[in-house]
Amino acid sequence: MYIEQAFKVLHEWWRYFIGLFIVILAVIAGQIPFAAAVFMKSYETGEDLQGLDNSTVMSLLEPNLNLFLMLLSFAVGLVALLFVAKFLHKQTVVQLTTARSKIDWKRFWFSFFLWGIISSGFIWFDYFMSPEDYVLNFKLVPFIILLLIVVIFIPLQTSFEEYLFRGYLMQGIGLVAKNRWVPLLVTSLAFGLLHIANPEVDKLGYSIMIFYIGTGLFLGIMTLMDDGMELSLGFHAANNFFAALLVSADWTALQTHSVLKDISEPSKDMLTEMVLPVFLVFPILLLIMSKKYGWKNWKDKLFGSILEPERETIKSIGNNDENTTNL
């Protein structure tokens, strides 16, 4: 089982507390370049940052620079998280990723392309149904720069969020709670709250949190049912990857040199379109994956108890198994 993987490494509760504190400090440090760039730009233009909403603050910088600096903090956070796993917990990337003996990249790519095709299809369908809501935003040179940033940094950003919520915290909270449903709910709520400062919340209201929390719940269910994060890693990477390249808007977190730009005003219909996948599309995807990977015993995997193996001892960790000290 995936959560039980943590019993193979140093797993006292205080290690997770210290580890999370280190990761948070790293993310804050990673945000310094973005904050400095925004303050410098506001000083040059005479813009008063007080009272500005998040989307306006983001629009102060050139889109590619804004995206790069925004994603930089997640890259720093990922490095810190892997550092914590290796040196504080003596945990390998494989143990943090999956209960399998090695990372199953076929699962990652299946999820990536499945959601990439579906999400891109939704975007193009809406474009052809409501072309008046979009303008062609494609510019070759800025788009090529965007593509480079997206290819390198979007996977780092989404992997950080997955390794933090569906990985590190899922395992740590699971060991403390001694069950699976508490870490599933807590990490889903925390994942949603991570996005509460997004510009979309300002425009669509707190109801949009249904989408973020629901997505966290969907990714958490995939992780627990599949005994690994490969599917959630692929889904999350595809979601942000194709969104950043295909469509952007002035009121979203991803303001990029995308192919299309949504110029419509945020509305209740738009909120419905964003929330609908939580109740319709995500359950269908879970059904597809359950059939493909033979998921069974849903009740135990999502609500069952976490039991420590009887012969597992902390003293033996890292002394005789060299694999526990290698990333």
What tens digit of pLDDT does each residue of 209-230 get? 999 999 999 999 999 999 999 9
Tokens for 72? 């930089």
User: How sure is the predictor about 320, in pLDDT bands with cuts at 50, 70 and 90?
Assistant: very low
Model pLDDT for residues 164-182, shown as the tens digit of each residue: 999 999 999 999 999 999 9
Q: Which is higher by pLDDT, 269 or 322?
A: 269
What would the mean pLDDT of 120-147 be, rounded to a whole number? 94
Beta strand 260-262 with 134-136 is antiparallel
pLDDT of residue 48: 67
| Predicted confidence (pLDDT) at residue 293 exceeds the cutoff of 90 | yes
DSSP conformation class of 26: H
Q: DSSP secondary structure string, 249-284?
A: -TTSS-----SEEE-SPP-HHHHHHHHHHHHTHHHH
Q: What is the mean pLDDT of the chain?
A: 89
Q: What is the C-alpha separation between 256 and 250, in angstroms, rounded? A: 9
Does the pLDDT at position 309 exceed 90?
no
> Are the C-beta atoms of 119 and 240 separated by less than 8 Å?
no
SS3 at position 237: helix
Give residue 50's pLDDT band: very low, low, confident or very high (50, 70, 90). low
pLDDT score of 107 more than 70: yes
Q: Per-residue pLDDT averaged across 226-251, rounded? A: 95
Helix, strand or coil, per DSSP, at residue 134:
strand
Q: What CA–CA distance (Å, rounded) separates 33 from 80?
A: 17
Q: What is residue 175's predicted lDDT score, i.e. its pLDDT?
A: 95
% pLDDT > 90, the chain? 73
The whole-number pLDDT of residue 312 equals 44
Whether pLDDT at 319 is above 70: no
Domain range annotation of the chain: 3-309
Query: Quick check: 302 and 180 in contact, CB under 8 A?
Result: yes
Strands, sheet with 247-248, edge to edge from the N-terminal-most edge strand: 134-136, 260-262, 247-248
Q: How many CB atoms lie within 10 A of CB 285?
A: 19
Among 254, 306, 310, 320, residue whose Cα is nearest residue 99: 306
